[in-house]
Structure 1
Amino acid sequence: MAIRINNINLGLDDELEVLEKKVCKRLNVSNGNINKISIIKRSIDARKKNDIKFNYSVDVFCEKEKKILSKIHDKDIKLEEVKEIETIKSGTQKLNFRPVVVGFGPAGIFAALTLARQGYKPIVYERGEDVDKRTETVEKFWSTGELNLESNVQFGEGGAGTFSDGKLTTRIKDHRCAFVLDELIKAGAPLEIKYESKAHVGTDLLKGVVKNIREEIKNLGGEVNFNSKLERITYENGKLKSIIVNGKEISCEALVLAIGHSSRDTYEMLYKEKVSMDAKAFAIGVRIEHPQELINISQYGESHDHPKLHAADYRLTYQSERLGRGIYSFCMCPGGVVVAAASEEGRLVSNGMSYHARDLKNANSALVVTVSPEDFEGNSPLRGMEFQRYYENLAFKLGGGKYKAPVQLVGDFMKDRVSSKLGQVVPSYTAGYEFKELKKCLPDYVVEALKEGIVNFDKKIKGYAREDAVLTGIETRTSAPVRLNRNEKLESINVCGLYPTGEGAGFAGGIISAAVDGIKVAEHIIQKFYVL
């Protein structure tokens, strides 16, 4: 048990020792009565630009917590039970074959790690390369336009988040989130991810973290196989029988399917095999770039260059009553770059990426509009995927090939004209660009919603609609276009032994929630099966 204290404020120039003094004052005890103070959360309170504060939540470990609390009447102070991951008791059904994990992004990594630690020796198959070779392949794609369909920004060790910002924020409330953060720290992530309210690792550090977890899985008896693509599953009487990987059939009765949101050929295979699935809503749009200094000044005012304040971010939402659609920023990358993120030939996708330092000139974010199955043609559960493909193909053609992106300045976008020259903001897109009208690669209603959203967001961040802000097409991979339906035991509702998990299954959004979903799936496998 610990005493949780919320809303402890420190000034920008306060040293951390001030935190301990404030804790003692709030609890009316001396520091000798305190065994340990753990920072649970730290956020920036910038509502008053002339008085920016760090806001802390802490857990205080001490003797006689209840006695201390009995003398305090403060809604921000309470007794907190510190929850930990419990060892899962193995089930009663014998597991005749080692469990298989397909995909080695966050969901697959943490499913495999959980299984390995319980002695289940999972076998991982990842269609892409290990993170070092994958990095070389991706950088070659950015410089030459030569796309590897199996190993790219979407596929390979670490998943799509490896070439992003490594964001560790999540809205889910689950004690496993803390476990995931602890494991990332053990594997080399910086300690502050445990408590920063908008924590991130950065693509540069995340690669080393992923490799370290992979090695632990292997040391525990697991296998991790790269360049290994799932081609088919087989099942009889609603029960998983085998999988085919690189042309080889492998007996399997417990399959963690952690394929990510861009494994379209796998979705098609599952649909052909009649695995239950539905189309789901997602969002599409563009990437928008501003000078990072503009965002810093908007968020922090005169303190924007204070050494304790890092590159500022933002999160913006707007609901258009006229259009009946939501417009919002997504995957905002302070001090980052816009990257070419295609995974299919002839289809163009953009994404955002930051390194740990977040010290580059531009801030970028997806600016996207909600779309739903009612917007997609036909009635196939894959119709959202085909919707993505259609507009990605338009964007590819509009950019002129070689995965160059169509780019338009905000001022020209708002006035429906092709841009002719840049202003202060230089596009950072990694595979080159051409000035084009973005309305030619987006649905009309998305274009209208983006315009309406930009006007609204300019009221919240002065300069958001500046004429020379850069729009890069197109962003389509905000989340999976498909949900693989599963039951309360997290198995496919019509294929026993198939465990769809993570973002690709439609049950997570981001690194932490995907990792947690992978853990939960692994726990269900452990609760069902035992191994000798």
Structure 2
Amino acid sequence: MPIVINNLNISLDQGYDELKAKAAKKLKISSRYIKDFKILKESIDARKKNDIKFNYSVKIVCENEKKIVSKLKNRDIKIEEQGLKDKLICGTKKMETRPIIVGIGPAGMFAGLLLAENGYKPLVIERGEKIEERTLTVNKFWNTGELNLESNVQFGEGGAGAFSDGKLTTRIKDKKCHFILDTFVKYGAPEEIIYSGKPHIGTDNLKIVVKNIRNRILELGGEILFKSKLEDLIIAHKKLRAVVINGSEISCDNLILAIGHSSRDTYKMLYERDVFMEPKAFAIGVRVEHSQYMIDINQYGKFAGHPKLKASDYRLVYKSKEGRGVYSFCMCPGGEVVAAASEEGRLVTNGMSYYNRASNNANSAIVATVGEKDFPGSSPLKGIEFQRHYENLAYNIGGGNYIAPVQLIRDFLKDKVTYKLGDVKSTYKPGYEFRDLNLCLPEKVTSSLKEGFNNFERKIKGFSEGDGIMIGVETRTSAPVKIVRNTNLESISVKGLYPCGEGAGFAGGIVSAAVDGLKVAENIIKTYSSLDK
């Protein structure tokens, strides 16, 4: 049984040969006795700026493994745990109609892939375009301000994550996470995401993976319809009977609803069909840009720019006097800020980066939490109206055509309008105007952000008092509603409806959404026999 060794360190000037030698030394054996050597995890230890190291966990195959481990009695050395693989057994209930999946973001994509691999031939419905066409549409919007309401940064193949940093980090502890990463590599992602402590593939590689998974679903008998919108549900006696797609009714007993967090018209339709949902807390704020080199200096000291060190990231957290969480979100090293609107007359920002993270700027959302008490009204959709209000303000204050309001952080802290940028130039397209961002957000949020910025300056020198830029506004941090479901992962109000992923309120990123998609697909597989039988 393989041996796992944790906490192996090598310096920036050492290579993998030294890592293998150190592993052998820790096991007190000669490296020539190592039959197989594999890196399980790689991370950077930058706690000591004058002595930055890479930290590794590795797996080794050699002889007398159990004897070696028992003799050493070292907490960093153990026999690899052999987890039992759950065998997915198809159910016996006859499936009258093939399963339908709405949305081909991470949740819908992995649900569709698993169903297709097990013979269920899913029909996948996506309101936006396939990734090749969608990329052209989005680029046109960024360059001209011409918005396609059905295919944009939020809607289309790959979901909102297709125009993001492609981060694959997650806080959930689920063995399916490993399957997700393995699948990404199988379909075109760099192999390093398997062991990287902060895996990311970039929007450029993610588009390749998305296309390859789509083709695999089709090869296995699935069907994918683009530019096809879910318009209505046909429900009888609290059970799903059919869906209406582009005006056509299609019989359906099992619908996986993986709509993403911005399908506001779909939320409205579900509410009108008495699908039970409730408002959910989220966070709003701004997108900030800094010099990537400034962030690197703060994180890596004299080693900033070292060829083995990639663009550095950060994670900032603060609790305001009022008790609101203020934190960085979706941090994109070496990236750019992009327009992410999906409705006319409403402005939204997001961050994006490519695999090489080569931009001169680092960007991140800096947001403050808001909850049900902050949203006027009593409807479960009141969080959506809250988002819309401030997106509309930002659009109007920017002057229209998705021109963003921009302000230096240091001016925001002094309630001064900016008249000139410093060394950091904004990457946001279609363009920006200098405006007071206090006017784009509720006072309870701006006051919390100001507290947070003052705190963050103490953690990263130059973060708030340097040339950092604020771009308004960031409102789509997570879904503003939760579509409540039971232990079978079905809606508590409509049998056969499976709310899924980030849009249903059960995920918060690419990997967690994909995991949720797998869980829902597994439940359907365990209940019904495949169409091949």
> Secondary structure in 2 aligned to 1:71?
helix
1:172-221 deviation line (CA, Å, top 9, x unaligned): 11111111111101111101111111111111111111000110110011
**Larger deviation, residues 55-64 vs 468-477:** 55-64
AA aligned opposite 1:88: L
Paired residue for 1:230? 230
Listed as ranges, the gaps of 5+ residues in structure 1 are none
Paired residue for 2:504? 505
Paired residue for 2:159? 159
Within 5 Å, which residues of 2 pair with 1:361-380?
361-380=360-379
Distance 1:203 1:420 in 2: 33
Paired residue for 1:394? 393
Distance 2:426 2:12 in 1: 33
Paired residue for 1:212? 212
AA aligned opposite 1:387: F
1:141 is displaced (CA, Å) by 0.5
1:85 is displaced (CA, Å) by 5.5
1:243 is displaced (CA, Å) by 0.6
Within 5 Å, which residues of 2 pair with 1:94-243?
94-243=94-243
1:60 is displaced (CA, Å) by 2.2
1:373 is displaced (CA, Å) by 0.8
Distance 1:324 1:158 in 2: 36
1:153-174 deviation line (CA, Å, top 9, x unaligned): 0000000011000000001111
AA aligned opposite 1:183: T
AA aligned opposite 1:410: I
**Larger deviation, residues 303-312 vs 62-71:** 62-71
Distance 1:414 1:93 in 2: 62
Paired residue for 2:71? 71
Paired residue for 1:27? 27
Paired residue for 2:301? 301
Paired residue for 1:523? 522
> Secondary structure in 1 aligned to 2:35?
strand
1:64 is displaced (CA, Å) by 3.8
- Contact 1:85 1:175 (8 Å CA) reproduced: no
**Larger deviation, residues 59-68 vs 130-139:** 59-68
1:2-60 deviation line (CA, Å, top 9, x unaligned): 32221110110111011111111222233344332221111100011111000001222
Compute the TM-score of the two structures, normalised by the length of structure 2. 0.98
Distance 1:292 1:67 in 2: 49
**Larger deviation, residues 231-240 vs 219-228:** 231-240
1:69-116 deviation line (CA, Å, top 9, x unaligned): 111211122222244754410112111111111100000100000001
Distance 2:495 2:35 in 1: 49
Distance 2:464 2:331 in 1: 16
Distance 1:84 1:126 in 2: 36
AA aligned opposite 2:226: F
1:223-259 deviation line (CA, Å, top 9, x unaligned): 1111011111122222211111111111111111110
1:328 is displaced (CA, Å) by 0.2
- Contact 1:2 1:82 (8 Å CA) reproduced: no
228 and 432 in structure 1: CA distance in 2 versus 1, 3 angstrom threshold? same
Distance 1:467 1:173 in 2: 38
- Contact 1:425 1:470 (8 Å CA) reproduced: yes
AA aligned opposite 1:281: A
Distance 1:472 1:162 in 2: 21
Distance 2:373 2:165 in 1: 32
Paired residue for 1:461? 460
Compute the TM-score of the two structures, normalised by the length of structure 1. 0.98
Distance 2:425 2:95 in 1: 56
> Secondary structure in 2 aligned to 1:93?
coil
Within 5 Å, which residues of 2 pair with 1:407-486?
407-486=406-485
AA aligned opposite 2:484: N
AA aligned opposite 1:510: G
Distance 2:354 2:364 in 1: 15
Distance 2:498 2:212 in 1: 25
Identical amino acids, percent of aligned pairs? 62
> Secondary structure in 2 aligned to 1:398?
helix
AA aligned opposite 2:327: Y
Paired residue for 2:36? 36
Distance 1:83 1:431 in 2: 50
- Contact 1:412 1:467 (8 Å CA) reproduced: no
> Secondary structure in 1 aligned to 2:235?
strand
Distance 1:287 1:122 in 2: 38
Tell me whether 1:491 sits opposite 2:473 in the alignment: no
309 and 396 in structure 1: CA distance in 2 versus 1, 3 angstrom threshold? same
496 and 34 in structure 1: CA distance in 2 versus 1, 3 angstrom threshold? farther
1:411-439 deviation line (CA, Å, top 9, x unaligned): 21011121111111111111100100001
> Secondary structure in 2 aligned to 1:141?
helix
- Contact 1:284 1:477 (8 Å CA) reproduced: yes
Paired residue for 1:12? 12
- Contact 1:202 1:355 (8 Å CA) reproduced: yes
- Contact 1:83 1:175 (8 Å CA) reproduced: no
1:467 is displaced (CA, Å) by 4.0
- For this pair of structures, how many residues does the alignment match? 531
Paired residue for 2:93? 93
1:518 is displaced (CA, Å) by 0.5
- Contact 1:116 1:221 (8 Å CA) reproduced: yes
> Secondary structure in 2 aligned to 1:385?
helix
Listed as ranges, the gaps of 5+ residues in structure 2 are none
> Secondary structure in 1 aligned to 2:337?
strand
Distance 2:391 2:17 in 1: 53
- Contact 1:279 1:481 (8 Å CA) reproduced: yes
Tell me whether 1:404 sits opposite 2:373 in the alignment: no
84 and 344 in structure 1: CA distance in 2 versus 1, 3 angstrom threshold? farther
1:284 is displaced (CA, Å) by 0.2
Distance 1:62 1:245 in 2: 58
Paired residue for 2:324? 325
1:309 is displaced (CA, Å) by 0.3
Paired residue for 1:277? 277
Distance 1:501 1:46 in 2: 38
- Contact 1:49 1:301 (8 Å CA) reproduced: yes
- Contact 1:7 1:56 (8 Å CA) reproduced: yes
Distance 1:379 1:63 in 2: 66
